[in-house]
Amino acid sequence: LSFFCFLSLQERELMPEELDELREAFKEFDYDADGFIHYKDIADCMRTMGYMPTEMELIEIIQQIKMRWGGHVDFDDFCELMGPRMLAETAQMVGLKEIRCAFKQFDSDGDGKITIDELKDGMKTLLGEKLKKGELEEILADIDLNKDGNIDFDGSDSIASR
């Protein structure tokens, strides 16, 4: 489990309004209303809630959802995932060290970018998920904010797009 990094939860409780906001977002992205959101929909969901996760933050979130919850989150897991982000002044500062650690697991040649091949290998070896080519591209497209075909360690392009 050396590659398995947790985000540390902060102490303050969520306010009722914040819980309502989470509940609404959860409902919207639980397309088939089975009580779970798939990890593939989490990026859109966060953006809808006004969060602009960086590319490396998204890779860490996907890893977390896969490792801890088997690829989809129920409402409680969703609160656990989003709660610290709602409580943090700036979303991109949440658990930066842990995010970096998760990122490095995927970036096998250490050049600061996760290519589609590295993503494919990472999903397979780290997360035990074999993805078809189309699925992989879908995930990459969702994470790749500056559309250069890689997942970047440097989140500056996503900050610039705010």
Q: Which residues pair with 113 in a beta bridge?
A: 152
Q: What gap in Å lies between CA 58 and CA 39, rounded to an integer?
A: 10
CB-CB contact of 43 with 91 (8 Å): no
- Part in contact with Ca ion (CB under 5 A); list of ranges 17-25, 42-50, 87-95, 113-121: 113-121
Q: Are strands 151-152 and 113-114 parallel, antiparallel or unpaired?
A: antiparallel
User: Residue 13 or residue 154: which is nearer to Ca ion going by CB?
Assistant: 154
Does residue 117 bind Ca ion (CB under 5 A)? no
The distance of closest approach from Cβ of residue 156 to Ca ion in the complex, given in angstroms and rounded to an integer, is 11
User: Which range touches Ca ion (CB under 5 A), out of 40-48, 86-94, 127-135, 144-152?
Assistant: 144-152
The smaller minimum CB distance to Ca ion, of residues 80 and 87, is found at 80
| # chain residues binding Ca ion, by CB under 5 A | 12
Tracing tokens 């002044």 back to the chain, one arrives at 89
Nearer to Ca ion, 7 or 37 (CB): 37
Residues 27-86 that bind Ca ion (CB under 5 A): 30, 32, 34, 36
Q: Cα separation of 10 and 18, whole Å?
A: 15
**For residues 47 and 55, is the Cβ–Cβ distance under 8 A?**
no
Q: How far apart are CA 100 and CA 98, in angstroms?
A: 5
Q: Which of 49, 152, 155, 158 binds Ca ion (CB under 5 A)?
A: 152
**Residue 14: Cβ within 10 Å count:** 16
Which residues form the interface with Ca ion (CB under 5 A)?
30, 32, 34, 36, 107, 109, 111, 113, 144, 146, 148, 152
